[in-house]
Amino acid sequence: MKVTTIIGAQWGDEGKGKVTDYLAEECRVVARSQGGNNAGHTIVVDGKKHKLHLLPSGILRKDVVSIIGNGVVVNPEVLLKELDNLDSERGQLLISDRAHVIMPYHKLLDGGEESSKGKSMIGTTGNGIGPCYSDKASRIGIRMGDLLDDEILMERLEKAFPRNQALLDHYGIKSDLTIDSLLNLCRKWRNELSQFITDTSLLINKHIDNKDNVLLEGAQGVHIDIEYGTYPFVTSSSPTTAGAALGSGIAPSKITDVVGVTKAYLTRVGSGPFPTELDDEVGEMIRDKGQEFGTTTGRPRRCGWLDLVMLELSNRICGFSSLAIMKLDILSDMDEIKVCVSYKDENGAEISHFPSSLSYLAKCEPVYKTFKGWSSAEIDIPNGTVPIEMKNFLDFISERLEIPISIVSLGPGREETIIF
């Protein structure tokens, strides 16, 4: 029996969806534990591309129970649209009664709050994730289970809506929302989603007790974690091992394996320091070849070389038992490839640990180790063989971080994967 959690080791967009889909083949349960439809997981099955924002990536396997855990914030309209797009292709879905609901005013507020930040804009997707988590922390949120009871629902709306309306007024955002219109909308969601809403923590723990394999799917990445990310350019939840346990309703001690997912290079969406960023033709090549445009927003991602200083912090916080190296094929056929092994600050001091101060980080320069490139013609995925230059690259990462590499992805499809 394994309880495996999939953690993004960078700033998100690492390829967690593919890893989850691949490992789900041997699992009975796949659960999303945090985030909302600000996530964007792209999975290719039999040449067909599926873009998921809220549904767990295991939903594409009919024999898997897919769970939206209590740590997730749910936009019912997005969820219903994703379900309609899948038709009969999906497996069973269950939603935690403790998961919070993204209301229409949350999405309106997200845009207003972001615009008010000016040059300090975080780069939010504008989907209402942050305002929903804010209501959750303020104890005025509405949970999926609340949709099932009109009396509780009205009580929640009478507390939540006046505060959110005041914020809308503050940002000069006009809306036609009323408590009655919101109540009717929630009733509509209840009619369409009540069959899925249950205590998912009980269910997951029963599967663990029955020795079934369970997979916890994270969203975003450690470096936009609310605690250890590049604050304030962070998300509103905790995409860490601890967050996965809490957000799915299991004890941390029940997690047996932690797979840290990282691209063979590095990308970022939005603002904030990025020591290895490539503002040149190499960065453009990586963006174009890797199709580095946001699944949720369509925004071009900033691209740079792999940063092992970042990964050291991710491992320290999450305790990776192995690494999954994604999109390694994008670096094929380059003359040379670089990996950041440390930073030098403005005084010339070399540092090997990721700083908390963004002003300090912004003045740091990367220290690189350079590797000879490899030819894509020498890659043999069916036999699991790779060029010696690629092996040297992978071995260095593994030895430097003292973490074994378990998965290497050399393309978007399930079959374009090597398991070690």
- Rounded Cα distance between 92 and 90, Å, is 7
The CA dihedral of 18, 21, 23, 24, to the nearest 10 degrees, is 170
Q: What is the model's pLDDT at position 395? A: 98
340, 346, 351, 352 alpha-carbon torsion, rounded to 10°: -30
**Which residues are catalytic, by number?**
13, 41
H or E segment to which residue 245 belongs: helix 241-248
Per-10-residue mean pLDDT, the chain, length 420: 97 92 92 88 72 87 94 97 82 96 96 59 75 97 98 97 96 95 98 98 98 95 96 94 98 98 95 95 96 82 97 98 98 97 96 96 97 96 94 98 97 90
What's residue 124's pLDDT?
62
Cα within 13 Å of Cα(197), Cβ side = 21
β-sheet bridge partners, residue 42: 51
Where does residue 344 rank: exposed (0-12), middle (13-18), buried (19+ CB within 10 A)?
middle
Q: Any bridge partners for residue 369, and if so which?
A: 339
Residues 6 or more apart in contact with residue 339 via CB below 8 angstroms: 305, 306, 307, 308, 368, 369, 371, 393, 396, 397
Token reading at 252: 């941390």
Contact status, residue 102 vs residue 129, Cβ threshold 8 Å: yes
Q: Hey, is 387 helix, strand or coil?
A: coil
Please state the pTM of the whole predicted model.
0.92
Contact (Cβ atoms closer than 8 angstroms) between residue 75 and residue 127: yes
Q: In this structure, what are the phi and psi dihedrals at residue 3, rounded to the nearest 5 degrees?
A: -115, 105
CA distance 36 to 39: 6
Position 286 scores a pLDDT of 97
DSSP state letter for 127? S
User: What is the reported pLDDT for 242?
Assistant: 97
> At residue 147, what are phi and psi to the nearest 5 degrees?
-60, -20
Going from the N-terminus, what domains does the chain have, and what CATH number goes with each?
3-89+200-419 (3.90.170.10), 100-196 (1.10.300.10)
CA distances from 306 to 230, 276, 338, 406 (A): 17, 7, 7, 18
